[in-house]
Each structure stands twice: as structure tokens, then as C-alpha cells.
Amino acid sequence: MPVIVAEKDGDRWLGGEDVSDLLGPYPAGGMEMWPVSTAVNKVRNEREELWGAWSSQGI
């Protein structure tokens, strides 16, 4: 499972300290969600416009 580490905890995460307190659900309020194009499913698609929100008129 991927881990989302807050920027303020980055040095701790990489520094070898005990980080067990960071292993838990990330607060939903700190995340955003948006639809993306199905074009993101192909590795060869590296267009910059794929990094943001998708609209049916977009890609």
C-alpha cells in the first residue's frame, strides 16, 4: 500500500527514525480528487495535459 507523507515529515521518513506514527490513514481533507482521461493508462502517454483534471472536451 502506498504511503502519503506530509512534507514536514519528509526528513524523518528518509532519516531512519521510528516513523510508525506516520503509518495510518491520511486525512481526507488533505487530498483532492478529480476525473482523469483514460489516456493515463498508457505509459507512452506523457503529455503534460494528462497531469490535471480531465474534461470530455479536453483530451
Q: Summarize pLDDT for 1-54 with one digit per residue, the tens.
A: 788 998 999 999 999 889 999 999 888 898 888 887 888 888 888 887 777 766
The pLDDT value recorded for residue 59 is: 46
Q: Which three cell numbers stand for residue 44?
A: 507512452
The pLDDT value recorded for residue 20 is: 94
The pLDDT value recorded for residue 55 is: 63
Amino acid symbol at 56: S
Global pTM exceeds 0.85: no
SS3 letters for the chain? Answer: CCCCCCHHHHHHHHHCCCCHHHCCCCCHHHCCCCCCCHHHHCCCCCCHHHHCCCCCCCC
